[in-house]
Amino acid sequence: MKIIIHGGFFSESDQSTEVKTAKQDALKEIIEKSYSYLKDNSAEETVVYAVSLLEDDELFNAGTGSQIQSDGKIRMSASLMNGQTQKFSGVINIQNIKNPIEVAKILKNEDDRVLGGNGANQYAAEKGFEQYSTETQKRREEYEEKLKNGGKGTVGCVAIDKDGNLAAATSTGGKGFEIVGRISDSATVAGNYANTFCAVSCTGVGEDIVSNATAAKIVTRVTDGLSLKKAFDKTFAELKEINGFAGAIAIDRDGNIFHQDSEPTMVFASFDGSELEVFE
């Protein structure tokens, strides 16, 4: 059993040492809780659990604390993929939901498994999800002052359970101040992908991740026989060719954990039951 989570990027230029420490502490607490949960639950259930904890922490740009778009509203996206069943489910630009990843979870049982905008909102309401404001004072202040230093705050989790099953989940509040209708990578296979060989969750600039098909490329290359490291090396070399900004976390079927970012510093933590690693 192994697990790795990410919480976007940290920039020394626009965030304080106090915020950095707070994020490190939060990731430690969340990954330890999630690993304990993994002991008695599947990889799929665990990645949803971990991402929901990240969504609930306003330090991260997903769920509570999501970025505000150009029209002053918050729209969020999230997705889930089970490596064994090969089912991908997600919501795009959903509003006023505390945990978008939970909506993605129940969508996996539907024939239509990716919903966007009003359709996603209506589906969540029909399934009993309560209306919830994810706006925080900090995000409102950023919006009002038109600060443009967001866009790299997606959260995600990849896990392998005791039976060797892999799963990945990703959630985002967007990049902030985006054009209404913009779709991020988080609810696409470019940003969140898994099969029986490997599972990957990405963060960074969604347009770059989609252009590079980052998560799907890494998983496909591992499936075709490359090591996890070589799959990352090749995919991130291609990302560099388009001056892409991204980070990714992954676990392969042998339990190897890997993470990489195109620029410092991706916020992440990994745990295998004995060794805990947290970004510095």
Catalytic positions: 154
User: Whole-angstrom Cα distance, residue 90 to residue 80?
Assistant: 6
SS3 assignment, position 71: coil
- CA-based torsion, 219, 220, 221, 222: positive or negative: positive
> Order of strands, edge to edge, in the sheet holding 246-252?
192-194, 198-204, 246-252, 257-261
User: Whole-angstrom Cα distance, residue 32 to residue 79?
Assistant: 22
First-to-last C-alpha distance (Å) of the chain: 24
Read off the DSSP letter of residue 10. Answer: -
Q: Which two tokens stand for residue 85?
A: 């069943």
